[in-house]
Structure 1
Amino acid sequence: MVHPVPSALSAMAEALRNHPSIRSKLGIADATRALGLRAESTGRIGDDAAALPNGAGWDLVAGEGFIPAFVADDPWFAGWCAVMVNLSDIAAMGGRATALVDQVWAPDVDTAAPVLQGLKDASAAYGVPLVGGHTNLAAPSIGLATSVFGKATALITSFDAQPGDLLIAAVDHRGAYRNFDNFCAALDAPADRLRGDLDLLPTLAEDGLVAAGKDISQGGIAGTALMLAECSGVGIEIDIDAVTPPPGVPIDRWLRSFPSFGFLLSVAPDQANDITARFAARGIEASAIGRITEGSAVTLTRAGETALFWDHAATPYLGLGGQSDA
């Protein structure tokens, strides 16, 4: 029997679907199921941060834990990332971070030192204080987790992407890969630029231009688009020819990369030019890379060809018990 040779686009979709950085998010469903959490639970599980109404807006809470091998391999950068990714989660919700707490485990103070220095350096650069946490310097191995608190007066959520919206990717290309598929554009940036870039997101929310989106996290553009689609109960079509990686970066790697500054935004077509212009004014690459559709399929398109990346109705990704699990 002769089997047809898959097209390059279909092969790319399959490779992304099976990549560890994409599939690692499947563990979220196991945790939420064990905790009895669903999309409608307090804090709206599936968002980048929990949004808790406070009468004048929302208090925001989020947290990150780090793979021990990553912390051991590059401890200063792990400390920096512990601050950076948490602040990105708050910005992705349309918020501004107010404080961080850390949890550090290490066999001794010397092992912990570069992690703590990375935390300190990033806290100073972004202007968000570390206000406490938990430290154990008699642990058998190194470990790191952080939590962040913030506030918002207008929200960007994972649950409000609408069919007919354009999908905008806003990513800072002024960097390089640090390790794995982590693309870092933060380490050489001046502090005022880091702070101003993050403030773009709450400003867009407050100006009524953006109500739906996500921080591009582990899993990259492809995995984050899938999470946004499942939370909102929609499909997403990604136009591969519209995705612009930094020079020399293959498109398949860029679609799974974890950038230090990267967001997917679902926006009304008549607002797209205003939004991309605001990012461009700060030197950030931002353009429409696809559209929000009816249904549950996240697809890749190129030159008239379409390949299925994931159907969250057939195979839930986050498994939050929303529309896609019906």
Structure 2
Amino acid sequence: MADGIDIEGLAARLSTASGLAAKADIGPVAEALGLAGRAVAVGDDCAAIPDGDGHLLFAIEGFINGFVAADPWFAGWCGVMVNISDIAAMGGRPLAVVDAVWAEGEAGAAPILAGLRAAAEAFGVPIVGGHTNIRTDRGQLSVAILGRAKALLTSFDAAPGDLLVAAIDHRGRYREPFDNFEAATDAPHERLRGDIALLPGIAEAGLARAAKDISQGGLVGTAVMLAECSGVGIDIDVAAIPVPRGIALDRWLSTFPSFGYILAVAPDHLDAVLARFAARDITAAAIGAITAGSRVTLHAGDRRALVRDWRATPLMAMVKAEDAA
């Protein structure tokens, strides 16, 4: 119930969450590479390279050492899964992945490789090569992916007047002790492949132009990233967010789901977008509005609290050049 939500306390906790704070590392790296300040047309889920009548999509993920050590099989699985999610978030379909694995001997590498292979088979995306070093003292993992999009969904095209839609697969559970909510490892393979095809289908039908994969920043942190990239504000109605039974709201808003996206959708396309997710039993709802300005806020009833003003406190420093002033 909206009346029972401490909206100011919730906004304060989310604004200082470690998953969101880590995104601030992107800015200095982008500046060092000469990327900061450019008019970036497409962005951080994947690089998009014009290719004939579409775009090649290229992305990479690296994994925290503690995660690889604590759950190496699932780390391998995630190496494939999260890259595929990034391709889908850009309206694309995955083509192939490559991996870089460091481990202490064959025994140390075995669970990581098994997780990689299991996910590649489940999603039907081949592993076509990579790099291996099994003479190190700890497990580490990085995985890259190539995909292709006929029509792009970007982080840079949300516009005032759009509605913010959250689409998350609730048919899962937490992979403790991390805030990873996974609904994929025991799902039928055909279901996984069909679910991932939802985003490119929405892009190709012209039902949305902007989307982002919900990352370790959680739903609200990912909304901050979308707002900054698109040069807009976002106002989120906390009471409109579907939360699985038995999960606290603040944990859910910080969760990294195995299937989770936010999309900016024009009001006249909302019903069609929600119907596509509903047809595959994915929980989706309009949870807020894209606004002019630079403030990302939460509201419950008539109470509103600021999470971040990206113009006053930039996060990734990857805003469009025309919105940077």
Structures share fold, TM-score greater than 0.5: yes
TM-score, normalised by the number of residues in structure 2: 0.96
Give the structure 1 partner of residue 196 of structure 2. 198
- Superposed CA deviations along residues 19-42 of structure 1, whole A, max 9, x for unmatched, are 111211111112112111136477
AA aligned opposite 2:170: H
Structure 1: any 5+ residue segments left out of the alignment? 1-6
- CA shift, 1:18, in A, is 1.0
AA aligned opposite 1:13: A
AA aligned opposite 2:166: A
> Quick one: which of 282, 285, 302 aligns to 1:284?
282
Give the whole-Å Cα distance in 1 for the aligned partners of 2:147 and 2:41.
13
Provide closer, same or farther for how the CA distance between residues 43 and 307 of structure 1 changes in structure 2, counting only shifts above 3 A.
closer
> Quick one: which of 49, 55, 73 aligns to 2:52?
55
Give the whole-Å Cα distance in 2 for the aligned partners of 1:30 and 1:47.
14
Aligned identity (percent) is: 56
TM-score, normalised by the number of residues in structure 1: 0.95
> Quick one: which of 111, 120, 123 aligns to 2:120?
123
Counterparts of 1:176-187 in structure 2 under 5 Å? 176-179=173-176, 180-187=178-185
Matched, 1:250 2:248: yes
- Superposed CA deviations along residues 134-188 of structure 1, whole A, max 9, x for unmatched, are 0001112110000000001100000000100000000000000003110001012
Give the whole-Å Cα distance in 1 for the aligned partners of 2:300 and 2:72.
40
Give the structure 2 partner of residue 217 of structure 1. 215
SS of 1:105 mapped into structure 2: strand
Give the structure 1 partner of residue 76 of structure 2. 79
Residues 29-38 or 315-324, more deviating: 315-324
**RMSD between superposed Cα atoms in Å:** 1.3
Equivalenced residue count is: 319
> Quick one: which of 124, 145, 148 aligns to 1:148?
145
Matched, 1:265 2:263: yes
Counterparts of 1:166-181 in structure 2 under 5 Å? 166-179=163-176, 180-181=178-179
- CA shift, 1:70, in A, is 0.2
Counterparts of 1:19-34 in structure 2 under 5 Å? 19-34=17-32
- CA shift, 1:210, in A, is 1.2
AA aligned opposite 1:264: I
Give the whole-Å Cα distance in 2 for the aligned partners of 1:129 and 1:55.
23
Residues 26 and 317, structure 1, Cα contact 8 Å, conserved in 2: yes
- CA shift, 1:43, in A, is 7.3
> Quick one: which of 91, 96, 99 aligns to 1:99?
96
Residues 170-179 or 316-325, more deviating: 316-325
Give the whole-Å Cα distance in 2 for the aligned partners of 1:305 and 1:270.
28
Give the whole-Å Cα distance in 2 for the aligned partners of 1:196 and 1:39.
38
Provide closer, same or farther for how the CA distance between residues 39 and 257 of structure 1 changes in structure 2, counting only shifts above 3 A.
farther
